[in-house]
Structure formats: C-alpha cells, structure tokens
Structure 1
Amino acid sequence: MAQIFREILFQEPNSIFIKVMIMINLIFSAILGYSEGSGKQNLEYSKFWNLKSQEKIKIPSKIGMIIAYTPSLITCLSFFWIFPNSGIRFFMLNFAITIHFFKRLLEVLFVHKYSGSMAMKSAITISSSYFIAFSSIIYIQHLTKGSIEPIIDLKYSGFIVFLVGIIGNFYHHFILSKIRKKSESGYKIPKGGLFNLVICPHYFFEIVTFFGFSLISQTLFSFSSTIGTLFYLMGRSYATRKWYISKFEDFPRNVKALIPFVF
C-alpha cells in the first residue's frame, strides 16, 4: 500500500501546515457528516430548512447560494494571476475548480428553482468551508512546484473523471429542476437517470467530481478533501433518504441514499 501511495502522490514538502489541514479537514467532515446523518444538526437549506430551526436571520435561497459559491469562484480566478507560472498540472486543477464553481453559479441563476429561504449562517458556513478547502487545495498544489512528480501521472485521467462528474451532476440537477411545474409547490419523489437507484445521484457525481480533482492534483491533501466530501455527503444523503421515507408512503425502499445497490 505504501508503495502505491509513493507512485501516485507527490513527495510534498514536510509542512506542518499541510498535516494540520489534512487532520482538520477529515475530522471536521466526519463530524459534519455524522451530524447530518443522525439529524442532530443539518445545514439549514433545501428540505432541511425549519426542521428544528430557531434561526431568525434568513435570506432568499437563491441569494444564499450565490453567497456560498461566489467567493470561491473569485478566488480561483485570482489564482491564475497570483500563480501564473505554476505548471500544467496547477493550471488544469485551478481550471477544473473554476469551471466547477462557474457551473454552480449558472445553475443557481438559471436551473434551480427556489421557493423558500435559508439560514444566513448556513450560507456563511458553506461559503467559508468551500473557500478554505479549495484555497488550500490550490495553494498546496502550488507548493509542489519543483517537487518530484508522481511515478504514475494521473492528471489527464483525472480531468476526464472530473468531466464525467460535473456532467452527471448537472444532468441530475436538471432533472430535479423539471420535477415541479411552475404552478406547483412542495416536493416530489424524483425519477429518471440514477434517481431510480439512489435518491441523491447529484451527490454521487459530486464525489466523482472531487475524485477527479484529486487525480489531477495527486496530493495527499486533495485526496483527504475527497474523503471528507464523501463523509459529509454520505451523512447528507442518508438524511435525505430518511426525509423522503417520512414524507412519502410510496417511496421505493430499493432506492438507496448515495451509492447504487450499496448505501
């Protein structure tokens, strides 16, 4: 196993900053995922808004999601100027992450349908988490400049995986946007695509997208971020499936939460 890691990961600088960020990332994601799955604490947006909330400061959901994504997009764009000569791998990673957040903002503006509010603190929490995580991924990639490249080069394969993830994620978001007609409100059981197998295929492809980032980057921190995302989205999808079961008596029990036929 150690030999495999040596072949696919950069020999990164012996940095306390990197080690601390990896531990914080994994621990925070695991706690957040457990809190989501157990229902002890949900980020207050979407169907989980007002489950147990006493939040007084709320904003329109569309504005909240713009707040969540815009700082990270601006930061990614600025990195092209801050680190102009960091190599093809750095460019591919920053370009992929920039496209990721640009697509999210386009979805907020033109695809998703919003009918309610979200907690201001959730918008700030999401925005801060994305900003810290992706700024760290890109900065740590910059720190690998001059380091020994991995024996197995996965950056081009990673970009293909990223494209599969982002296209699959968009496709299932598009399906969700078409479930309700303009005159309708409330939630329905989504159907089509992988919704026939899992209730959160958009989360599944989100994980695929992050895995693509990791393969492009090939740093230990980027892989830890993907694992952290998996922890969180497992909890979020488990809570989502539990919510649907509680609201719809005809919810098909063979439909899993996140991973077809498994979980």
Structure 2
Amino acid sequence: MSEIKAGGLYVDVGLSTANSVVLFLLLAFLVSSLGFELFFSIPYSKFATKEEIEKLSRVHIIKYAFHHRVNPRLGWALIYIFPVIVPAIAFAVYAVDNNEKIGKIAPSETYAILVFIGWILSFTKRFLESQFLQVYSDTIPILTILIVSGGYSYCGFASVYFANQVEGYEISPDSGTFVKDIICIVGYVVFISLNFHSHLTLRNIRKRNPEQPDKKYYSLHELGRLFVVLVCPHYVFEVAFWLCWAAFSGIATNWTSFGFTFFYLSIRTYKTYKWYVSKGLHTKPEDVIEAADFGV
C-alpha cells in the first residue's frame, strides 16, 4: 500500500525487490551520465573537444557506434520517439491490467494518467522540435542515439512503473494535496510553454554566413536580456517544468530524474557560459559566432 507524505510531495510505494532493482538501475545510469558530462561531454554538442572525441574513439567496444553517424534529423527523431513509445507500451499494459481488475478508472489511475501525460507531452514536444524547429550543423553518432534514447526510455518506463503502484491518490478539492496538484499542473504548462518559446527564439536568430553557406551563426544581443542574465533560459524553464512534474507525482524515480536534470543542465549552463566568454559574447555582444552545436 502506498503512503502519501509531505502533502503529496513524496509518495512511498515501498521498496520491494523489483522496485529496488528498477530504482538502482535508474540511479546507476543517471549518476554515470552525470559524471561523464562533468568530466567530458556527451558527443553531440559544441563542448565535446577533439581530445575527448579521440579518447572515446580508442575504446574498441564503442568505436563503431562512435564513428558511424546518421542524418541529425533522423538521429534526434530516434532519440525522442522511443522515450514516447516505451512508456506508452508500459502504460497500456498497466491500463489493461487495471481495467480487468477494477472495470473503471480509479482515482489513483487519474493520477497515473496525469504523470504519464506529463512525460509524454515533454518528449512529444522535443520530437516535433527536432523535426520542424531545430537547425543542425552536423551528423550525429550512433553511440549518442543509443545512450540518450536508451536512458530517456528507461526513465520513462520507471516513471510509469512506479506511478501505477500508487493507491489512494485522489485529485479533488476534498483531498489534502489539491492545491499542490493544481499549482504543479499550471506551473508545468507555463514552464513547458516558456521552454518552447526559448527554443523558438534560438531558432529564429540562427543565420547563415553568405561567405560560408554551410555554417550557421548567431549573435547574443539578438536573443534578448533573458539570455544574457540566465545564459540558458530554455534550461531554466526545463528544470522548472520537470520540478512541477516531480512534485506532482511525488515518487522517488521522478524526483531522481529531476535531480539529474537539475545538475546536468546546471553543468551545461556553466559550460555554455564559459563558451560564450571564450567567444567574447559577454564582452562583445555585437559579435557573430559560429553555432557549432548540432541543434538549438
């Protein structure tokens, strides 16, 4: 039996053997990914140096997956579509099982549905952005597709797995968590919208140099004051909407995923700031520089 604590900010579903294994694997993946990003850079960004790339390419097991690359639009489609498909299949299995047992939607199922929608909406948005919004500068390694898509897919599965074990969570004015739930739902919608707006802003200022038509450029002053102050407002808003999602669900796996997102994007923001400074963007905002990343 699940236990709702701290006004719904934490929901204890217990740590059975299966639950412990799912949580341990999630922690192992997220901690290793965070450590990798802290000392290196996942090989799809402007921060991955030639030295790091050479080190990775020496590892025989991943050599093939690292050197073989695919069209970036296809690559990012694969990265974002599986984190939608895998949790959707898991959720469908739970939904069929619950309907056979109950025959109708229970209050806690409404909670599980909203947790699921929060996950699916984010990655559906990312998938659509990757196909219709982002501008790419290079191909993407198969290794990156396998790591990122696999990690996201497992996080989505873990979220569905734990959310469907929650019992007795009601979303109604009579529940003690109603105010928290409404704040989290509204906050999620607001921040995911602002995240999209920030991505759209980045997309709109990407340019091509007439002398080098295969290169893409942008200038910081066109991004607006928000980008100067926050450096990466799209990351800030992403952290914010995942916080709302984790606070609404209250389950350990989702708080873990949020913690990873916070630290990972904090590292990315710091690296972006250092990159801006190295290009003179915070001292000479009129400069136009090459956008060396694979997408905004």
2:288 maps to none
Aligned to 1:138: 160
* Mean CA deviation greater in 84-93 or 116-125: 84-93
Indicate which of 195, 206, 211 corresponds to 2:243: 211
Report how far residue 24 of structure 1 moved. 4.7
Matches within 5 A, 1:236-251: 236-246=268-278, 248-251=279-282
**Equivalence for 1:260:** none
Rg bigger for which structure?
Answer: 2
Q: Counterparts of 1:1-263 in structure 2 under 5 Å?
A: 5-8=5-8, 9-26=10-27, 28-37=29-38, 40-48=39-47, 51=50, 52-53=52-53, 54=57, 55-84=66-95, 85=105, 87-146=109-168, 151-153=176-178, 154-182=180-208, 185-190=215-220, 191-192=223-224, 194-246=226-278, 248-252=279-283
For residues 21-66 of structure 1, give each alpha carbon's deviation from its aligned partner in whole angstroms, at most 9, with x where no partner exists. Answer: 44554454344334324xx321111323564324311122222111
* CA distance in structure 2 between the aligned counterparts of 1:117 and 1:244, rounded to whole angstroms: 23
- Asked if the contact 2:207/2:217 (under 8 Å) is kept, the reply is no
Q: Which amino acid aligns with 1:48?
A: F
Which sits farther off after the overlay, 108-117 or 235-244? Answer: 235-244
CA contact (8 A) 1:34 1:232 kept: no
**Paired residues of 1:141 and 1:217 also in contact (CA < 8 A):** yes
- Once the two structures are overlaid, the 10-residue window that deviates more, 206-215 or 167-176, is 206-215
TM-score by length of structure 2 reads 0.73
Of the structure 1 ranges 194-203 and 7-16, higher mean CA displacement relative to structure 2 is found in 7-16
Find the aligned partners of 2:128 and 2:169 in 1 and give their Cα distance.
36
How far residue 105 of structure 1 moved from its aligned partner, in angstroms, is: 1.1
Q: How far off is 1:193 after superposition? A: 5.9
Q: Indicate the SS of the match to 1:87.
A: helix
Moved more, 49-58 or 20-29: 20-29
**Cα offset, 1:195, TM superposition:** 0.7
Is the Cα contact below 8 Å between 2:36 and 2:42 reproduced in 1? no
Shift of the alpha carbon at 1:147?
A: 7.0
The SS at the match of 1:159 is helix
Cα distance change of structure 1 residues 250 and 13 upon mapping to structure 2, 3 Å threshold: closer
Amino acid at match of 1:18: N
What is the number of residues matched between the two proteins? Answer: 247
Task: Look up the SS of the partner of 1:97 in the other structure.
Answer: helix
Specify the SS of the correspondent of 1:47.
coil
Please state whether the residue corresponding to 2:83 is helix, strand or coil: helix
In the aligned structure 1, how far is the partner of 2:183 from the partner of 2:281? 41
Gapped regions of structure 1 (runs ≥ 5): 254-263
**Range that drifts further, 71-80 or 159-168:** 71-80
Does the C-alpha gap of structure 1 residues 193 and 18 become closer, same or farther in structure 2, counting only changes over 3 Å? farther
Flag as ranges the 4+ runs of structure 1 deviating above 6 A: 147-150
CA distance in 2, matches of 1:127, 1:28: 12
Residues 1:10 and 1:114: Cα distance change in structure 2 (over 3 Å): same
- For the residue of structure 1 that corresponds to 2:167, the secondary structure is coil
How large is the Cα RMSD of the aligned pairs? 2.7
- Distance verdict in 2 for CA 1:108–1:15, change over 3 Å: same
Tell me how far apart the structure 2 counterparts of residues 66 and 220 of structure 1 sit (CA, whole Å).
29
TM, length-normalised to structure 1: 0.82
Structure with the higher fraction of residues in strand conformation: 2
In 2, Cα distance between the equivalents of 1:229 and 1:164?
Answer: 18
Identity %: 24
Contact 2:208–2:217 (8 Å) recurs in 1: no
Q: Distance in 2 between matches of 1:170 and 1:208?
A: 13
Amino acid at match of 2:92: W
